[in-house]
């Protein structure tokens, strides 16, 4: 029996255009599956729009800040509306890349060495960089779709790259550049769907390559030995679990030329556009686009954090105030 599904799309940030494409693709699939669909455009007044929508469940087609970072998830928790994807804490942790790196380290999961730079410290980036060396990757500390990402080859380009990255959220993450193959792993529920290698003609799988026909090539499965591919997929699932993710996700990694594999980031709301990677991975695993959308919808839930009823406190005698002399 079909559900009343609200597809949340749009949003506040620089990834609005991609969110709208994801949303429309999801709407078409849900309608094909027999669900009653309402488009809910995220922005100011979202709480009122959700109350007016009269939905059973929210399908989050949002990307980036104010959509993928736990804030919309928190609103849905307060409104008691089940939603797709990870919960409040996992969403916030995954979006905050430096914080996610700390969790990876805590779980002994390899990630490129890096440091955070706040906007007010951007002009001190060279001082903070110290002997970290070049090339390095500079990107927003909280963001997605490779918006604001730069590969920096020399000291003269570092400060401008940090200033550019800080335009998107106020903080930059500077990481050691890892030479190798970029691999992304798709996860549905708590199982790996498969993996895909992304190859592109210039450094960095940037916004242009992802969404505007920038010459990217995709290899399913990745051009790795079977043993290494299984290890990479296991590393991805461990990173997803380390952040407490649920529902579905996509984990990006670098498989270095020196046979070391490192986690770059966990995407809690990966794209569902015609060029998006998770649908490609799912298709190779035997799930067409509507089946993938249904699989994500079936796993919609809430954190279900209820405050237990506490027994009334017994009255206590007042504690006398002591004045220091």
- The pLDDT of residue 304: 72
CB atoms within 10 A of CB 270: 25
Is 96 annotated as a binding-site member? no
Active-site residue identified among 19, 86, 111, 145: 145
**Is there a single domain that holds both residue 126 and residue 198?**
no
Residues 155 and 80 in one domain: no
Q: Are 154 and 187 found together in one domain?
A: no
Residue 276 annotated in active site: yes
The answer to whether the annotation marks 265 as part of a ligand binding site is yes
Residue 142: give the domain boundaries: 113-176
C-alpha span between 230 and 218 (Å, rounded):
18
**For residue 163, is it within any domain?**
yes
Does 9 share its domain with 61?
A: yes
Among residues 62, 58, 53, the alpha carbon closest in space to that of 81 is found at 58
Beta-carbon contacts of 295 under 8 Å, excluding residues fewer than 6 positions away, are: 188, 189, 248, 287
145 in catalytic set? yes
Residue 231 known to bind ligand: no
Q: In whole angstroms, what is the distance from residue 239 CA to residue 324 CA?
A: 53
CATH number of 169's domain: 3.30.1490.20
In-domain check, residue 292: no
Catalytic residue among 15, 175, 197, 233: 15
Judgement on whether residues 75 and 119 belong to the same structural domain of the protein: no
Domain assignment present for residue 254? The answer is: yes
Strand duo 150-152 + 171-176: pairing: unpaired
pLDDT digits (tens, 9 = 90+) for 4-31: 999 999 988 778 999 999 999 999 999 9
Mean pLDDT computed over 58-78: 94
Total domains present in the chain: 3
Asked if residue 310 is part of any domain, the answer here is no
Does 187 lie in the same domain as 164?
no
pLDDT digits (tens, 9 = 90+) for 89-142: 999 999 999 999 999 999 999 999 999 999 999 999 999 999 999 999 999 999
**Do 10 and 79 have their domain in common?**
yes
Rounded to two decimals, the pTM is 0.89
């Amino acid at each position: 029996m079909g559900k009343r599904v609200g597809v949340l799309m749009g949003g506040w940030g620089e990834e609005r255009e991609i969110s709208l494409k994801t949303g429309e693709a999801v709407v078409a699939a849900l309608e094909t599956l027999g669900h009653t669909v309402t488009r809910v455009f995220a922005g100011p007044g979202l709480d009122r729009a959700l109350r007016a929508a009269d939905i059973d469940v929210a399908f989050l087609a949002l990307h980036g800040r104010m959509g993928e970072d736990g804030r919309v998830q928190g609103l849905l928790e307060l409104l008691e509306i089940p939603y797709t994807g990870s919960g409040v804490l996992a969403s916030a942790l995954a979006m905050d890349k430096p914080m996610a790196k700390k969790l990876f380290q805590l779980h002994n999961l390899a990630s490129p060495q890096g440091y955070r730079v706040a906007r007010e410290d951007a002009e001190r980036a060279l001082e903070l960089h110290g002997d970290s060396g070049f090339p390095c990757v500079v990107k927003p500390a909280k963001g997605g779709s490779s918006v604001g990402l730069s590969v920096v080859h020399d000291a003269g380009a570092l400060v401008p790259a940090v200033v550019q990255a800080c335009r998107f959220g106020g903080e930059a993450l500077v990481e050691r550049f890892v030479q190798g193959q970029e691999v992304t792993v798709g996860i549905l529920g708590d199982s790996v769907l498969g993996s895909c290698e992304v190859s592109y003609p210039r450094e960095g799988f940037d916004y242009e390559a992802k969404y505007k026909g920038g010459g990217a090539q995709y290899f399913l499965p990745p051009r790795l030995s079977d043993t290494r591919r299984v290890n990479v997929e296991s590393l991805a699932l461990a990173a997803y679990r380390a952040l407490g993710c649920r529902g579905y996700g996509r984990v990006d990694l670098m498989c270095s030329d020196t046979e070391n594999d490192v986690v770059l980031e966990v995407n809690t709301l990966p794209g569902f556009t015609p060029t998006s990677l998770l649908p490609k991975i799912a298709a190779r695993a035997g799930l067409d686009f509507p089946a993938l959308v249904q699989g994500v919808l079936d796993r919609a839930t809430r954190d279900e954090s209820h405050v237990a009823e506490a027994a009334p406190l017994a009255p206590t005698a007042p504690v006398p105030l002591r004045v220091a002399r």
